[in-house]
Structures are given as C-alpha cells and as structure tokens.
Structure 1
Amino acid sequence: MLLFDARTARALATVLLYALALLFIYFAWHTLVTFLFAIMFAYLLEPAVSGLQHRARLSRGHAVLTIYILISVAIGLFFAVFGPQILRQAGRLSDSLPALMHRITSGELLQQIARLRHWNPQTEQRVQQFLASHQHEISGWILEMLSAFASVGRNIIWVLLVPVLAIFFLLSGGRFAQAILDQLDRLRQRSFVRDLLQDMHDVLANYIRIQIILAVLTLLVYVGGFVAFRIPYAVALGVATGLLDFIPIVGPLIGAVTVLAVAFFSGYPYVIFVALFIGAWRLFMDYYLSPRMFGHRVQLHPLAVLFGVLAGAEIAGIIGVYLSVPILAILRAAWTRWRTFQGERSIILPSSTPPPPPPIEPAS
C-alpha cells in the first residue's frame, strides 16, 4: 500500500515549490529589487534608445552607449553648475542640526520665534510645553530620517548596479520575451502571454515616464519657488523635495514637512506662505495635472493606490511604497487579460450540452 497517492504527492510538491519560492524571495530580496529597478530604468531609456537607433541608423549597442554618454554629460553639467551650491547648503544644514536641536530643547529658538511672530506669553508657554513633552518623539523622528539616509549609503552598491543591469535589458529585452514565448506550445497560450507581456510593458513604460516627468517638473517648481521665497537652504531643499516626489503619496508629504520644519525652526518669517505655495502646487498636480497625464494608462482608483502604498510600506518599507503602484497596475492588467482569455475560450470551446434535435415535420 502506497503511503501517498498521486494526487496527494502532487499537492505536497506544489506546497513545497511555493515554500521554496518564498524562501528564495526572502533571501534574494536585494537582488530581485535591484533587477526590478533596472527594468524600470531600462523602460525609462527605451524611447531615447529606439529613437536614436532608427534616426541615426546606429546599432542597438552603439545607441545604448551614446545615450549613456549623454546622460553622464548631463549629470556632470548639472553638478558642475548646481553641485557646489547644493553641497554647500546641505553641509551648512547638517552642521547646524546639533546646534538647532540644542536651541529647540533649551527653548532659545522658541523665544526667538515668539519675538518674531509677536506671540503672547500663553501661546509661547503652550508651545514650550508641547515641545518638552514630545522631545523624545522629535529626536527619534530625526534619528529615523538620518538612519534612513545612512541605509541608502550602505546600499549604494545596489544603486550603482541598476544602470549597469539596465544595459543588458536594453540590449536583450526583446530576446527575453521571445524566450518565454518559445516555451509555450499552443498558439492560444502564446497569444495570451504575448498580450500579457505587452500590457505589462505598457503599464511600466507609462508609469515610469509620467512619474519622471512629474518629479522633474516638481523639482523645478520647488527650487524656483523656494529661491523666490528666499527660504534658507532653498536649492538643497528643493532638490531633495523633488527627488522625494518619486515616492507616491508618502514622498511629497515627507518633503513638505521637512521644508516647513526647516523654515520654521530657522526663524523664517513667512512659513504660512510657503505652506500655501506647497499646498497649491500639490492640489494642482494631484487633481488636475497628474490625472490628465496618466489618463487611462494605469487605470487605478485613488483608493487602490492608497491601499497599495500603505500595504507596500508595511511589507517592504520605502521600496514597497515605490513598487506598489506598478505592481497593482500589472495585477489589474493581468486579471483583465485573463478574463478576456477565458471569455474567448468559452466561445471557442463547444458546449457540453448537445443541441436539440430538429423538429419533425408532420407527414403530408
């Protein structure tokens, strides 16, 4: 008598395969995330590479090399023009943080702000009590932000691998997809997988390109606005806030809070106007510009986006927040394509119920 029948053995093998897959994802998490970001970076560069390849009649390899050289030159020019000012302001901001924390905890900064804003003694006392009772939370929040930046520095090797791996996807991305299709025997299966890969391609390409455009536009608006408002460390804060805009929902919130906190604790007198400026830009971009640019490309409800961002933050932190929206969009596209495939299959397959016999005509 067999210990397991064939059906039980198949079920156990399936469970074992899923467990091994989860273990692989857990232990190879950094590698998988690096490859995902490399794919996104390749999607970002694909239009420029294809356009240069066809217009200049270059080989694929020469087109990729030319684009990388142009990107390196553009980054070099940017840092040559703005780099010294950004580094100088970032250095001044980091050097002033210990003294700023001492002035906050000692109450000296609060007294200065109270004099500038003509607070009455009761308001000053309430704010002082609030800061004193939440001193540990404020210090912990600042240390958390510093540790997050430190973790980016520790993982810099993975960040540097992204553009290197993207070269392979740019050179051989089409062959990877064709290799997947070659593993399928049936024509309808090939058609389904080909359409699914095309949907994934469209979702990722549209999401990455529009996200980059919105982030660059936000960076330019914030830098220009902060310089016009004469905010302390305007260029450094504008660049940091623009880069944080890559992270959906959470990134703009962190950037706005950081800018307002630095402006407030630096004694800047027009914090309310800066808050109105940031709020007006977010309303314009989130409720007018961004929906018009995305249109029906990603096709996700705002509540679905918010759920994905929060769930991604719980599962994988900042990386989960960033990857949540494209993953949700891909899952939605896959589900829609699968339903279409099943509907076509039900039409093509013959019905299991035999057709009724034709009516018998009475004899004349």
Structure 2
Amino acid sequence: MLKIVDGLIKRYFSNEEVVVFLLLLVTCMGVLAFWGGILAPVLIATVLAFLLQGLVERLQSIGLGHTPSVLIVFLSFMTSCVVFISVMVPIIWQQADRFFKDAPRMLTDLRDFVQKFAEGHSEIVSQDAIDEVINSLANESTNLGQWIVSFSLSSIPSLFSLVIYLVLVPLVIFFLLKDQRAILTYLTSWLPKERKMMQRISHEMNEQIANYIRGKCIEMIVVGLVTYVVFLFFGLRYAELLALLVGLSVLIPYIGAAAVTIPVVLVAFYQFGTQNEFLYVVIAYLIVQALDGNVLVPLLFSEAVNLHPLAIIIAVLFFGGIWGFWGIFFAIPLATLVKAIINAWPEDKEIMEQSKAE
C-alpha cells in the first residue's frame, strides 16, 4: 500500500512547479470559501477588467498608447453603465415593485383555476392531489407576502452595500487595466522559474474563458432584446423586467432557463387567462429558448468551452453548493479550469516506468 502511495506521489508530484501550483490552488479555494463575500467587488472587477482588456489590446494594435487606450475603454464602459442605470433601472424597479405586489394575486388566480379545473375533471384528478396543490399555492402566496415585507425592511443594508460596489468596482477595474503588466510581473515573481504546466493552463484558460465571457455577454444581450420584442409584441405586462430576467438566466445553464420560465408563464396566465394569447406567448417564448440553445449558443461558443452538458450541470450544483450565487455564476469557468488542470498535469514517465519494472 505504501509503495503504491509512494509511486503515485512520484508520478504526479515529482517537481517543484506541481507542488507550488497545488498549494496556490488550495490557498485560492480557501480564500474564496472563507472571504468570497468580502472580496466579491474585487472578483467582479477582475472579470470585467478581463473582458475589457481585449478592447484595450485592439486599440493598442491600431497605434494608440497604453494609457489612452485604457482611458477610452474605461470611460466608454462607465458611460454605458451610467446610461443603462439612469434609463433602465428606474423602469425595472417600478415593474419589479408592481410585480411583487401582484404576485400573491397571481398565485390566488392560479389556485382558483386549478380548483375549477379539478371540479370539472374529478374523474381525472384525485381530490387529494387537488387539495395538496391548492394548499401549496396558498402557502406560497402567504410566504411571498411575508418575504416582500421583510425584504423592504432589510433593504437599507443592501443599498449601503450597493453604494460600496458602485465605488469600489470601477476603481479596481481602472487599476487592473492600467497596471496589468506590473501586477502580473509581481505575481509571477513568486512562482518557480520553470512553469510550463502553469503557462499551458494559463494559455488554455485565457483563450477559453475570454471566448466564454464575451460569448455570454453577447448571448445575454441578444436573448434579452429578442425576448423583450416578443413580449412587447404581445403586450405582456412587465416586459422589461421579464426580458431582463430571461437575459440574465443564460448565465446559469439549463437551471436558469427553467427557473425564469415560471414567472413568464405566471404573468402570461394572470394577464390572459386561458385565452389564445396565453398560448401564443408561451409558444413564442419557448421558440426563443429553442433558438438560443440550438442556434445562438453553437454559433457563439462552438468549441470555446468544450464541456459535456452533464459536466456543466454537476459544476453548477457543486460550486453553487460551495459558494452560493458566485459559485453558480463562475461554475463553467471553474469547470474549465479543472479540465485544463487535468489536461496539463505532468507525469514523470521515467519514474512510472521504473516503478513498473520494480
């Protein structure tokens, strides 16, 4: 047994780079596990800076200096954010307020519909199932009302956190863009001089994650806009709010699309009842989802993130269980990191052959 363990250690942990990388990986996971909430602004800024770095490099490729390129990209990004916040946030906020106030009535109408349907089809649906569904809807309606009240009472700390995010995130983004080379030089100075495995992992992650983030941003915008046009065409209430939710749902593969379908169907049923318009809205929404999954995603990503759907679902569940929302948000990049590590992990073939000979 000890010989087998010794052989595995020599096979997979036979050089300094592997040991340093393993310690670095464990340290990062520990920091995220214990202080991930505190470092959330830095994590968000790092992702956004990574996304904006490509634009900085393009401006530099046409002859602009580093500092002017950073200023142009940063100011353009901040201007876009200010315009979005000043125009869209008040609309979304008003619609969200009306939606949460109407949600208990939506559940009540759905409960009444289920009860009437069951009364007319008692030979198909059992009374116990009817009572269970009705009681469940009644409890959800009560719980939702209580949650709205508690959320409004606890909104002051969240607003304070939002102000901190609005100040810290732009500052961190600017310094990451401006001093990227100095930061990377300082961080790599702590690593071993021979780091072929780390460079291989870094190259694969940089290529795949850059494509993933850019692709997800494009997918989010396209799906959100198309969904908004569809909802606006049918005159669906809360069109902006629902379109925003549908656009954001693409960040969480499979699970996000399933979760956001519930409010879309609930609002459509509350507004149109059993009329044909309800069926038209649901069909149009499902067509948008089908086009996203079967046309837009393959077109944007291709082989950028070559992960099996089962691996993606497991990653969402696993990292989401460890780090909550941020684990779900970064599930695919983290799964890609695990895949890159497995592919790049070195093996000491000479030692392995020697152990076989022994």
TM-score by length of 1: 0.73
Q: What percentage of residue pairs aligned between the two structures are identical?
A: 22
Secondary structure at 1:31's aligned position in 2? coil
2:139 aligned partner? 136
Shift of 1:326: 0.5
Q: Identify which range, 194-203 or 146-155, moves more after superposition.
A: 146-155
Q: Distance in 2 between matches of 1:102 and 1:198?
A: 54
1:304 aligned partner? 311
- The one-character-per-residue Cα deviations of 1:294-353 (angstroms, maximum 9, x if unpaired) are 2222221111001111122322222211111100101111221224xx3xx648x9x869
2:220 aligned partner? 215
**Is the contact made by 1:181 and 1:190 (CA closer than 8 Å) also made in structure 2?**
no
CA 1:90–1:22: 2 relative to 1, 3 Å: closer
Shift of 1:34: 3.4
Residue type matched to 1:183 in 2?
W
**Is the contact made by 2:56 and 2:66 (CA closer than 8 Å) also made in structure 1?**
no
Residue type matched to 2:243 in 1?
G
Secondary structure at 1:231's aligned position in 2? coil
Alignment of 1:53-132 (within 5 A): 53-55=60-62, 57-60=64-67, 62-78=68-84, 82=88, 85-97=91-103, 100=106, 107=112, 110=113, 121-123=119-121, 129=131, 131-132=133-134
Shift of 1:226: 0.5
Residue type matched to 1:172 in 2?
D
Q: Distance in 2 between matches of 1:201 and 1:91?
A: 40
Secondary structure at 2:313's aligned position in 1? helix
1:293 aligned partner? 300
CA 1:121–1:202: 2 relative to 1, 3 Å: same
- The one-character-per-residue Cα deviations of 1:236-280 (angstroms, maximum 9, x if unpaired) are 221232123323322222222111112212345322222222222
- The one-character-per-residue Cα deviations of 1:113-149 (angstroms, maximum 9, x if unpaired) are 97xxxx6951599797455321214544676698599
Q: Distance in 2 between matches of 1:220 and 1:319?
A: 25
Residue type matched to 1:69 in 2?
L
From 258, 274, 277, the equivalent of 1:253 is 258
CA 1:181–1:194: 2 relative to 1, 3 Å: farther
Secondary structure at 1:221's aligned position in 2? helix
Unaligned runs of 5+ in 1: 1-15, 354-364
Shift of 1:77: 3.9
- The one-character-per-residue Cα deviations of 1:71-121 (angstroms, maximum 9, x if unpaired) are 23334444565556444433433443455566667x4xx49x97xxxx695
Q: Distance in 1 between matches of 2:189 and 2:84?
A: 45
2:178 aligned partner? 171
2:5 aligned partner? none
Q: Identify which range, 43-52 or 90-99, moves more after superposition.
A: 90-99
**Is the contact made by 2:237 and 2:271 (CA closer than 8 Å) also made in structure 1?**
yes
- The yes-or-no answer on 1:235 pairing with 2:235 is no
2:198 aligned partner? 193
Q: Distance in 1 between matches of 2:140 and 2:162?
A: 29
**Is the contact made by 2:74 and 2:174 (CA closer than 8 Å) also made in structure 1?**
no
Q: Identify which range, 42-51 or 124-133, moves more after superposition.
A: 124-133
- The one-character-per-residue Cα deviations of 1:36-73 (angstroms, maximum 9, x if unpaired) are 3222111211111222234361333x322322322233
1:282 aligned partner? 289
**Is the contact made by 2:204 and 2:340 (CA closer than 8 Å) also made in structure 1?**
yes
CA 1:130–1:304: 2 relative to 1, 3 Å: same
2:231 aligned partner? 226
The size of the alignment, in residue pairs, is 322
**Is the contact made by 2:33 and 2:323 (CA closer than 8 Å) also made in structure 1?**
no
**Is the contact made by 1:43 and 1:204 (CA closer than 8 Å) also made in structure 2?**
no
Residue type matched to 1:218 in 2?
V
Q: What is the RMSD computed on CA atoms of the aligned residues?
A: 3.9
2:14 aligned partner? none
Q: Distance in 2 between matches of 1:66 and 1:335?
A: 39
TM-score by length of 2: 0.74
Unaligned runs of 5+ in 2: 1-22
Q: Distance in 2 between matches of 1:264 and 1:280?
A: 18
**Is the contact made by 2:104 and 2:142 (CA closer than 8 Å) also made in structure 1?**
no
Q: Distance in 2 between matches of 1:52 and 1:17?
A: 34
Residue type matched to 2:239 in 1?
A
Q: Distance in 2 between matches of 1:315 and 1:201?
A: 24
Q: Distance in 1 between matches of 2:132 and 2:179?
A: 58
**Is the contact made by 1:41 and 1:162 (CA closer than 8 Å) also made in structure 2?**
no
Residue type matched to 1:230 in 2?
G
Q: Identify which range, 174-183 or 145-154, moves more after superposition.
A: 145-154
Where relative contact order (Cα < 8 A, 6+ residues apart) is larger, the structure is 2
